[in-house]
Amino acid sequence: MVERLLAKEKVASSTLVTRSVGSQHKLSLAVVPIANHMNEILKFHCDFGGGITVTITFDVALYRRSHNQNLAQKINWSDQPTEEIFPLYRDWMHTVNTEIAKAIDKNYMYIFNRRRIDQETWVYFPDGSRERVAPSF
């Protein structure tokens, strides 16, 4: 389970939040605004240890230009993620998706394990809360 927030510091024009998970993993959430709040690019990075990292980019301006239709995150893994990191990934993604919902100021839905029967569907709200919902098949 993710422990309480350990450090929050300003790094250049971005906010870096670091959380410690056990003794082996350090999760970092970097939110890097490129322009003003309406036209920013959100960038998130996490190091799961063992050489597995992921960077997620969300273009708020593209979302707004697409009339709130383009919610695609760009996801770049350094290596193939393993089943063992899924709980850590899910915990980290709750933070990422909460930040996206706040940035777009709308409810934001995300599905974990899209192609599997054990998928989880979550809705993230601009106020920072989230709710697991039944998948709609």
**Matching residue, tokens 């100021």:** 105
Phi (first) and psi of residue 136, to 5 degrees: -110, 105
pLDDT in tens, 103-136: 889 898 898 876 667 788 999 999 999 999 986 6
Reply yes or no on whether the pLDDT at 23 is more than 80: no
**122 in Cβ contact with 109 (< 8 Å):** yes
State both tokens at 14. 């971005």
Comparing CA positions, the residue from 43, 52, 48, 55 lying closest to residue 16 is 43
Residue ranges per structural domain of the chain: 7-109
Neighbours of 96 (CB within 10 A): 22
42-89 pLDDT, tens digit per residue, is 888 988 888 899 999 988 888 888 876 666 789 999 999 888 888 889
